Amino acid sequence: MAFSREGFTADVVAGFVRRTFLNRNVIIILALSQAVSYINGYPLTAFPVFRFVHLFPLRALNIWILLGIYTHVTSYLNDQFANNWTKDTYKWNKEIVLITGGASGIGAALTSLLLKRNPSTKIVIIDHSPLTFKPPPGSAVYYYQGDLSNSSIIRQLCERIRNEVGHPTVLVNNAGLVRGTTVMEGSYADVEITIKTNLIAPFLLTKEFLPDMVRRNHGHIVSMGSMSAVTPPARIADYAATKAGLIALTEVLWRYKQKTMLDAGRGLMRAYRHYSSN
């Protein structure tokens, strides 16, 4: 029995708790009844449905309600902040998803998941090696062979993709290669091809496709990370450095969006100081 695609993880438990105990409607009913009982002095348990509440001490009940409110408010604020208080919905039959290194591995798995969700999603794959899978009949999978360590090839491919398929609305920087040599043993070429493919290509692809996403206020950029960015093992120092670089790129793209989040935070602080001093 499969609990979720990833198997049994903490998320399965958290998801269950959110859908049941912290369910929005449950929390609203509990909070309203608590409020009514506070205001009218009317005990909550006067309602037969709430007899079960006897099982919990009052403090536990209040913590439960506060936890529910906290969960829903933070998840609402997170969503809003992440989207700069605009609504960006994805119509998966219209999106164009560009996945680098999508011919095999994680990129190919992602392609198959996206097509399972919506078979009309356009998927553009750039990879050095040929596709290792057969796209399902009727699906719109476009394959472009190309070496992502070569910036003139990147420029040409992006031009072709815009003309032949359209502007990607989702960019997944997934392609990555590992030479597995030590800093002392690796050749110039080992270091160069790793950093160009894993780090420079994502920068160039972002430069190519981000402006149109901003113009249309719709888009998503994902870069594949790695634990090695945080704890780099020996023999893959160059790879780990590219993954740390991708984190920096992502942070900067985020900060640009988050400026408004900081402004909102400062506004709240100002309002708080204003009211607490008056």
Ligand X SMILES: *[C@@H]1O[C@H](CO)[C@@H](O)[C@H](O)[C@H]1NC(C)=O
Could you say whether residue 257 binds ligand X (CB under 6 A)?
Answer: yes
Comparing CA positions, the residue from 244, 155, 166, 245 lying closest to residue 204 is: 155
* Rg of the Cα atoms in the chain: 25
Could you say whether residue 42 binds ligand X (CB under 6 A)?
Answer: no
Looking at beta carbons only, is 68 or 202 nearer to ligand X? 202
Looking at beta carbons only, is 162 or 235 nearer to ligand X? 162
CB of 258 to ligand X, least distance (A): 9
Q: Which of 260, 269, 270, 271 binds ligand X (CB under 6 A)?
A: 260
Could you say whether residue 118 binds ligand X (CB under 6 A)?
Answer: no
Looking at beta carbons only, is 84 or 228 nearer to ligand X? 84
Looking at beta carbons only, is 53 or 213 nearer to ligand X? 213
Residue with tokens 């699906």: 139
Tell me how crowded residue 199 is: count the other CB atoms within 10 A of its CB.
23
Buried b vs exposed e over 47-82: b needs ≥16 C-beta within 10 Å? eeebeebeeeeeeebeebbeebbebbeeeeeeeebe
End-to-end CA, the chain:
60
Half-sphere exposure of 219 (CA within 13 A, CB side): 20
How many residues at the interface with ligand X, by CB under 6 A? Answer: 7
Catalytic residues: 239, 243
DSSP 34-66: HHHHHHH---GGGSGGGGGGGGS-HHHHHHHHH
Could you say whether residue 84 binds ligand X (CB under 6 A)?
Answer: yes
CB of 149 to ligand X, least distance (A): 8
Yes or no: say if 167 and 98 are a contact pair by the CB < 8 Å rule: no
Looking at beta carbons only, is 210 or 222 nearer to ligand X? 210
String of contacts with ligand X for each residue 150-179, x by CB under 6 A: x-xx--------------------------
Contact stretch for ligand X (CB under 6 A) within 58-66, 132-140, 147-155, 225-233: 147-155
Residues that bind ligand X (CB under 6 A): 84, 150, 152-153, 256-257, 260
